C-alpha cells in the first residue's frame, strides 16, 4: 500500500486511536495548553519551566518526534527529520501516545519516554486531548486567548507572511481554519481553565505562575482540581469572539490573494 494511503487510513480512523501507554504515566501530570497558533503557548511554557526550576519543581516540556526539519530553537528533546515511512510505521504499531498531522503536512508524535518529568507542560491541538487523556496521566487543560489586536500583531510578526513580509505563507489559510476550529472547541468545554493573555512578558509570567500553581497544587506536589479560572480584567468570551472574526477575515484575505 502506498505510504500516503496508509497515512490517510490512519487519519480517517484517528478518533479511535489508542497508543501503548506506559504504567509510569499514571504517576505523572500533564498540563495541556490549548489555543490558536501565536497566542503565546510556547513562551508561557518557557516561563513555567523557569518558575518551576526556581521552586524546585521537576517539570519539563515533553519531547516530540516529527518529520519536519530541525530548527535552531528546537530543544534537545525534539527528534526532527524523521522519515514519513518511519513515523507512519510507529503509528501503525501504536507506539505513540499521541500523534497529529499538521496543516503543513508534517507529522508529529509523542512517545511514553518523551514524558520524563513528574510534571509535563505541552502545547497541543484540541483533537489531541482525547488521546492524551486516555494515556493514563493526571491531566489538566488550559486554553489561552488574547485580544484580536495582540493576536494580529503576533501573527503578522511570526506566522502570517513569508520572508518578503508581503506574501502569505502557503499554510496560512490552514492555520486560520485550525484557529477557528480551536475557538469553536472551547465554547462547549467546561473542564478547561480559561486564561486571557495580555500584551507583555509580565502577563505571560503571571499566566505561567497560575498554570504551574493549578497543576502542582500550590507547588506542594498535589494535583489540584480547581474550578475554571478567568482573567477578570478582560472577557475570555469576548476575546474568543474577536479572534474568530479576525481569523475569518484573514482567511478571506488569504483566499483573495490566491485568486489574484
pLDDT digits (tens, 9 = 90+) for 236-258: 999 999 999 999 999 999 999 99
The answer to whether position 259 is within a domain reads no
> What is the tally of structural domains in the chain?
1
Confidence bin at 230 (pLDDT 50/70/90) = low
The answer to whether position 128 is within a domain reads yes
67's CB contacts (< 8 A; 6+ apart) are 81, 82, 83, 84, 87, 106, 107
Has residue 140 got a pLDDT over 70? yes
The answer to whether position 86 is within a domain reads yes
| CATH code, domain with 214 | 3.40.50
Q: Are 140 and 31 in contact (CB under 8 A)?
A: yes
The answer to whether position 93 is within a domain reads yes
Using CA atoms, how far apart are residues 97 and 133, in angstroms rounded to an integer?
A: 10
Has residue 222 got a pLDDT over 60? no
Residue 229: what pLDDT? 53
- The pLDDT mean for the chain works out to 88
The answer to whether position 11 is within a domain reads yes
Using CA atoms, how far apart are residues 225 and 227, in angstroms rounded to an integer?
A: 7
Cα 55 to Cα 24, 214, 219, distances in angstroms: 24, 14, 8
Residue from 251, 32, 2, 16 nearest 139 by CA: 32
Mean pLDDT over residues 220-227, rounded? 41
Residue from 35, 43, 42 nearest 179 by CA: 35
The answer to whether position 260 is within a domain reads no
Query: What residues make up the domain containing 165?
Result: 3-254
Task: End-to-end CA distance of the chain: give it in Å, rounded.
Answer: 39
The answer to whether position 241 is within a domain reads yes
Has residue 100 got a pLDDT over 60? yes
The answer to whether position 34 is within a domain reads yes
Mean pLDDT over residues 35-43, rounded? 92
Residue 232: what pLDDT? 52
Residue 5: what pLDDT? 93
Amino acid at each position: 500500500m502506498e505510504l500516503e494511503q496508509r497515512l490517510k487510513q490512519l487519519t480517517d480512523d484517528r478518533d479511535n486511536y489508542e497508543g501503548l501507554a506506559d504504567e509510569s504515566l499514571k504517576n505523572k501530570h500533564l498540563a495541556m495548553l490549548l489555543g490558536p497558533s501565536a497566542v503565546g503557548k510556547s513562551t508561557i511554557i518557557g516561563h513555567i519551566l523557569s518558575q518551576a526550576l526556581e521552586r524546585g519543581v521537576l517539570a519539563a516540556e515533553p519531547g516530540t518526534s516529527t518529520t519536519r526539519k530541525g530548527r535552531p530553537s528546537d530543544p534537545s528533546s525534539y527528534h526532527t527529520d524523521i522519515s514519513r515511512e518511519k513515523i507512519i510505521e510507529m503509528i501503525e504499531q501504536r507506539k505513540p501516545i499521541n500523534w497529529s498531522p499538521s496543516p503543513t503536512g508534517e507529522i508529529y508524535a509523542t512517545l511514553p519516554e518523551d514524558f520524563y518529568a513528574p510534571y509535563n507542560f505541552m502545547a497541543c491541538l484540541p483533537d489531541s486531548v482525547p488521546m492524551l487523556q486516555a494515556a493514563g496521566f493526571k491531566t489538566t487543560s488550559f486554553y489561552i486567548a488574547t485580544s484580536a489586536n495582540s493576536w494580529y500583531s503576533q501573527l503578522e510578526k511570526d506566522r502570517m507572511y513569508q520572508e518578503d513580509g508581503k506574501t502569505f505563507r502557503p499554510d496560512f489559510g490552514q492555520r486560520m481554519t485550525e484557529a477557528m476550529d480551536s475557538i469553536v472547541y472551547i465554547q462547549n468545554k467546561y473542564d478547561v481553565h480559561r486564561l486571557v493573555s495580555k500584551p507583555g512578558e509580565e502577563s505571560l509570567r503571571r499566566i505561567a505562575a497560575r498554570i504551574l500553581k493549578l497543576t502542582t497544587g500550590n507547588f506542594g506536589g498535589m494535583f489540584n482540581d480547581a474550578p475554571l479560572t478567568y482573567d477578570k480584567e478582560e472577557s475570555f468570551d469576548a476575546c474568543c469572539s474577536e479572534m474568530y472574526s479576525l481569523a475569518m477575515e484573514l482567511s478571506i484575505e488569504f483566499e483573495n490573494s490566491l485568486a489574484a
